[in-house]
Amino acid sequence: MAIVDKVRRIQERILAACIRSGRDPATVRLMGVSKFHEFSEIEEAWNGGIRLFGESRVQEAVEKFTGFKTSLAGAELHMIGSLQRNKAKTAVSLFDCIQSVDRDSLVTELGSLTSDRDSPLTILLELHTGESSKAGFLEEDHLFRAVEHVLSYPGLALGGLMTMAPYTGDEALIRAAFRSLVSVRNKLEARFPEGDWSGLSMGMSNDFEIAIEEGSTLIRIGTAIFGEGLT
Ligand SMILES: *Cc1c(COP(=O)(O)O)cnc(C)c1O
């Protein structure tokens, strides 16, 4: 199946999941995760209507997306993979949002790199909710400290939370992971009402319908749009 057709299929499934759960489809953004895929495939997804792309590695993103706003006018690029400190400066200049902020030292680094920006860099805090790679904040006190820091940097704009559910066929485990993200979000919102907690980035090819049912506002789809790709 062509990429544009796969995009259309995903959009239909998003719509159905929204109808099922009584949600407005305009509140769920669709990201095409283009890691391991060529720019020609990214253009196909663009032709299918994808306006938001996600990449996991800074170097790969630089190779494919430098200057992308000229050919893909209005497109947005988010970082969704583990970000090393020595790549943070490049990441800040390329990405519109960094979703994978998973430790306080990275907040500090990003805060100092963005101190002279005209418009703040949006970041999401990544939480560990059961995925096996252990990426993301685990301890509540670490998370709270990081939030205080995010809110203190004028160059950073908080956009919400991100997580990866465990990769499993057990729907109950997946649902529990998404629910725990929502519950932490509610706690953070009560404690830090000055922050914007509206963004919930959760749901991938194998679990995005469950994520929509649980309140996701941004689903990150790789395989179901682009296929397996070369790693
Ligand atoms: C690769 C990746 C995705 C996309 O996963 P698929 O299962 O291929 O849809 C989403 N989020 C993150 C953080 C990823 O690394």
42 touches ligand 1 (CB under 6 Å): no
Q: Is the CB of 205 under 6 A from ligand 1?
A: yes
Closest-CA residue, ligand 1 atom 10, reads 220
82 touches ligand 1 (CB under 6 Å): no
Half-sphere exposure of 185 (CA within 13 A, CB side): 27
Residue 231 lies in a domain: no
CA of 117 from ligand 1 middle (Å) equals: 29
What does the pLDDT read at residue 130? Answer: 87
Quick one: pLDDT at residue 231?
57
Considering only CA atoms, which residue is closest to atom 4 of ligand 1?
222
- The type of residue at 149 is H
Please report the atom of ligand 1 found closest to the CA of residue 80: 13
Nearest to residue 61, comparing CAs of 47, 75, 44?
75
Q: Does residue 154 fall inside a structural domain? A: yes
Q: What is the CATH number of the domain that holds 182?
A: 3.20.20.10
Q: How far apart are CA 125 and CA 158, in angstroms?
A: 8
How many domains are there within the chain? 1
CA 97, CA 171: separation in Å to the nearest integer? 29
Closest CA to 12 of 105, 146, 28, 173: 28
Sign of the dihedral defined by the CA atoms of residues 223, 225, 229, 231, in that order: negative
What token pair was written down for 149?
Answer: 């820091």
CA–CA dist 188, 140 (Å, integer): 10
pLDDT at 133 (0 to 100): 78
11 in contact with ligand 1, CB cutoff 6 A:
no
Domain coverage including residue 137: 3-226
Is 222 within 8 Å of 231 (Cβ atoms)?
Answer: no
204 in contact with ligand 1, CB cutoff 6 A:
yes
Q: How far is the CA of 114 from the centre of ligand 1 (A)?
A: 27
Ligand 1 pocket, residue 164 CB under 6 Å: yes
Over the range 147-161, which residues count as b (16 or more CB within 10 Å of their CB) and which as e?
A: bebbeebebbbbbbb
Query: Rounded to a whole number, what is the distance in angstroms from the first to the last CA of the chain?
Result: 21
What phi and psi values does residue 23 have, to the nearest 5 degrees?
Answer: -110, 155
pTM over 0.95: yes
Q: Is 203 in the pocket of ligand 1 (CB under 6 A)?
A: no
Q: Atom 1, ligand 1: which residue's CA is nearest?
A: 222
Q: Rounded CA gap, 157 and 151, in Å?
A: 8
Cα 8–10–11 angle (5° rounding)?
Answer: 65
Instruction: State pLDDT tens for residues 84-129.
Output: 999 999 999 999 999 999 999 999 999 999 999 999 999 999 999 9
The atom of ligand 1 lying closest to the CA of 162 is: 13
Residues of the chain with confidence (pLDDT) below 70: 230-231
